[in-house]
A and B are shown apart, each in its own frame.
Chain A
Amino acid sequence: MKRILALILVTLLTFTLAACGTQPAAPDGSSQGTSSEDGSKTSSNSDSGLIKVGIVNNPPSESGYRAANVADFERVFNEANGYKVSTFYSLKNDEQLNAAQQFITDGVDYLLISAAATDGWTNVLENAKNAGVKVFLFDRMMNVDESLFEAAVVSDMAAQGRMAVEWLKEQNLSEYNVVHIQGAMGSDAQIGRTNPLNEEFEKGTMKCVIQQTATWDEATAKQIVESVINSGEKFNVIYAENDGMAKGAVAALDEAGITHGVDKEVIVIGFDCNKWALRELLAGNWNLDVQCSPFQADKIHEMIQMLEAGKTLPEKIVINEETYFDARTITQEDIDKYGLGD
Chain B
Amino acid sequence: MGNGFKKLMRTQLVIPLFSLFLIIVFNLIRDVGFFSISIVTNNQGNPVLSGNLISILNGASAVAIMSIGMTFITSSCKGQDISVAAVAAIAGSVFVSVLRSYEITVPVIIYAFLLSCLISVVFSMFNGILVAVFKIQPMIATLILFSAGRSIAYWINGGATPTVSSPLLSAIGGFIPGIPVPTPIIIMIIFLVLISLVLRFTTLGLYTQVVGINEGTAHLNGINPVWVKLLAFVISGVCVATAGCITVCRIGLINHETLLLDAEMDVILAVAIGGTALSGGKFNLYGSVIGAYIIQALTVTLFAMKVPSAAVKAYKAAVIIIIVIFSSPVVKEFVVNLYKKMFKSRVKTPVKAS
Contacts and interface: CB of A to CB of B under 8 A. Distances in A.
Q: Do A and B come from the same complex?
A: yes
Contacts of A210: 303, 306
A223 interface: yes
Contacts of A213: 309-310, 312
Contact of A185 (B130, B247, B299, B310): B310
Nearest to B135: A2
Given A24-B159, A219-B251, A223-B300, A256 B261 contact: no
B303 A212 contact: yes
A258 B41 CA distance: 9
Contacts of A62: 257
A63 B69 CA distance: 29
Interface in B41-99: 41-44, 48, 50-52, 55, 59, 62
B24 to A, nearest CB: 15
A244 interface: yes
Interface stretch (A34-42, A115-123, A162-170, A227-235): A227-235
A188 interface: no
- Most chain-A CB neighbours within 10 Å: which of B163, B170, B257? B163
A342 B162 CA distance: 7
A257 B41 CA distance: 5
A236 interface: no
Interface in A11-31: 12-13, 16-17, 20, 23-24
B42 A212 contact: no
B205 interface: no
B255 A13 contact: no
A211 B258 contact: no
A144 interface: no
Given A17-B148, A185-B310, A64 B161 contact: yes
B345 interface: no
B144 A16 contact: yes
A46 B151 CA distance: 35
Contacts of B160: 64, 67, 340-342
A20 B148 CA distance: 8
B143 A5 contact: no
Contacts of B255: 64, 216-218, 244
A251 B42 contact: no
Chain A: interface size category: 35 or more
- Most chain-B CB neighbours within 10 Å: which of A218, A232, A276? A218
Nearest to B256: A61
A127 interface: no
Nearest to A225: B303
Contacts of B308: 211
Contacts of A12: 144
B261 A215 contact: yes
A253 interface: yes
Contacts of B141: 9
A6 interface: yes
Contacts of B307: 212
29 contacts: A9-B136, A13-B144, A20-B148, A61-B155, A185-B310, A212-B307, A212-B312, A213-B310, A217-B258, A218-B250, A219-B62, A219-B260, A222-B250, A226-B300, A230-B50, A230-B51, A230-B52, A231-B304, A244-B161, A244-B251, A244-B255, A248-B251, A251-B170, A255-B43, A255-B48, A256-B42, A256-B50, A259-B43, A274-B161
**3 nearest CB pairs, A to B:** A341-B160, A67-B159, A213-B309
Interface of A: 2, 5-6, 9, 12-13, 16-17, 20, 23-24, 60-64, 67, 182, 185, 210-213, 215-220, 222-224, 226-232, 244, 247-248, 251, 253-259, 274, 276, 340-342
Given A16-B147, A341-B162, 20 more contacts: A2-B135, A9-B140, A17-B147, A17-B151, A60-B159, A61-B150, A61-B159, A215-B258, A215-B261, A218-B253, A222-B250, A223-B299, A226-B59, A231-B31, A244-B161, A251-B250, A254-B170, A256-B42, A342-B160, A342-B162
